[in-house]
Amino acid sequence: MGSMVIRNIPDDVLESFKARARAEGKSAEQMARDVIAREAGMTPQEAWATIDAIRADSKPVDLDTALRIMEEARAERDGTDDDR
């Protein structure tokens, strides 16, 4: 795993960051890793490009089929599935 040193963080910003980490029951280091991991994820534009690519490769589903699937899923979740 890589490591990083961040210099010249204003004292008030660092203290606020540490206080927030303590409030969340984390170390400042763990909180910094979480922030870096979150920010390193997909940008909204990348996410939409992925969604568009999946849509382009998918068959369209008509409304009746979508509603039937939703009703079946709800019935299964609620234990009212007729097959039981």
> Is position 6 within any domain?
no
> Is position 37 within any domain?
yes
Q: Does pTM top 0.75 for this prediction?
A: no
Tally of domains in the chain: 1
Residue 68 DSSP class: H
What's the CA gap between 60 and 64, in Å, rounded?
12
What's the CA gap between 66 and 43, in Å, rounded?
29
> Is position 42 within any domain?
yes
pLDDT, residue 61, reads: 82
pLDDT, residue 81, reads: 64
pLDDT above 70 for 2: yes
Find tokens 């280091």 and name the residue: 29
Domain that holds residue 70: 11-78
- Residue 8 binned pLDDT confidence (cut-offs 50, 70, 90): very high
pLDDT, residue 59, reads: 85
> Is position 47 within any domain?
yes
Q: What is the pLDDT of residues 14-70, one digit of tens each?
A: 999 999 999 999 999 999 999 999 999 999 999 999 999 999 998 888 999 999 999
